[in-house]
Structure 1
Amino acid sequence: MGCCTGRCTLIFLCSLQLLAALERQIFDFLGFQWAPILGNFLQIIVVILGLFGTIQFRPRYIVVYTVWTALWVTWNVFIICFYLEVGGLSKETDLMTFNISMHRSWWREHGPGCIRRVVRPSSPGTLDDYSYVSVTGCIIDFQYLEVIHSAIQILLSLIGFVYACYVISIFMEEEDSCLSIYISPFEGTE
Structure 2
Amino acid sequence: MGCCTGRCTLIFLCTLQLLTSLERQIFDFLGYQWAPILGNFLHIIIIILGLFGTIQYRSKYIVVYSIWTALWVAWNVFIICFYLEVGGLSKDTDYMTFNISMHRSWWREHGPGCVRREVPPPTTRGLEDHAYISVTGCMVEFQYLEVMHSSLQILLALVGFVYACYVISVFTEEEDSFDFIGGLDSYTYHHSPQKTSHVQLKPVYLSK
Q: TM-score, normalised by structure 1?
A: 0.94
**1:21-78 C-alpha deviation (Å, 9 max, x unpaired):** 0000000000000000000000000000000000000000000000000000000000
Say whether 1:110 aligns with 2:114: no
Residues 1:178 and 1:107: Cα distance change in structure 2 (over 3 Å) = same
Q: How far apart in 1 are the matches of 2:115 and 2:39?
A: 30
1:177 aligned partner: 177
User: What does 1:44-123 align with in structure 2 at a 5 Å threshold?
Assistant: 44-121=44-121, 122=123, 123=125
CA distance in 2, matches of 1:77, 1:95: 15
Alignment of 1:106-145 (within 5 A): 106-121=106-121, 122=123, 123-124=125-126, 125-128=128-131, 132-145=132-145
Output the CA distance in 1 between the equivalents of 2:46 and 2:130.
Answer: 41
CA distance in 2: counterparts of 1:66 and 1:18, whole angstroms: 15
Name the residue aligned to 1:20: 20
- Cα separation, 2, equivalents of 1:3 and 1:61: 17
Deviation at 1:120, TM superposition (A): 1.7
Residue 134 of structure 2 aligns to a residue whose secondary structure is strand
Describe the shift of the 1:9–1:114 C-alpha distance in structure 2 as closer, same or farther (beyond 3 A): same
* Residue aligned with 1:186, SS: helix
After superposition, the C-alpha distances for 1:91-112 in whole angstroms (9 at most, x for unaligned) are 0000000011110000000000
Q: Secondary structure at the match of 1:86?
A: coil
Kept in 1: contact 2:3–2:167 (CA 8 A): no
Distance 1:46 1:16 in 2: 14
SS at match of 2:87: helix
Please list every run of 5 or more consecutive structure 2 residues that lacks an aligned counterpart in the other structure.
Answer: 196-208
Cα RMSD for the two superposed structures:
1.6
* Cα distance between partner residues in 2 of 1:181 and 1:3: 19
- After TM superposition, the score normalised by the length of structure 2 is 0.86
Find the counterpart in structure 2 of residue 158 from structure 1. 158
- Which residue does the alignment assign to 1:39? 39
Long gaps (5+) in structure 1 = none
Report the CA distance shift for 1:187/1:166 in structure 2 as closer, same or farther (over 3 A): farther
Change in Cα spacing, 1:118 to 1:2, as seen in structure 2 (3 Å) is: same
- 3-state SS of 1:138 partner: coil
Structure 1 ranges of 4+ moved more than 6 A: none
Q: Which has the higher contact order (CA 8 A, sep 6+)?
A: 1
Q: How many residues align?
A: 187
How far off its partner does 1:186 sit? 2.8
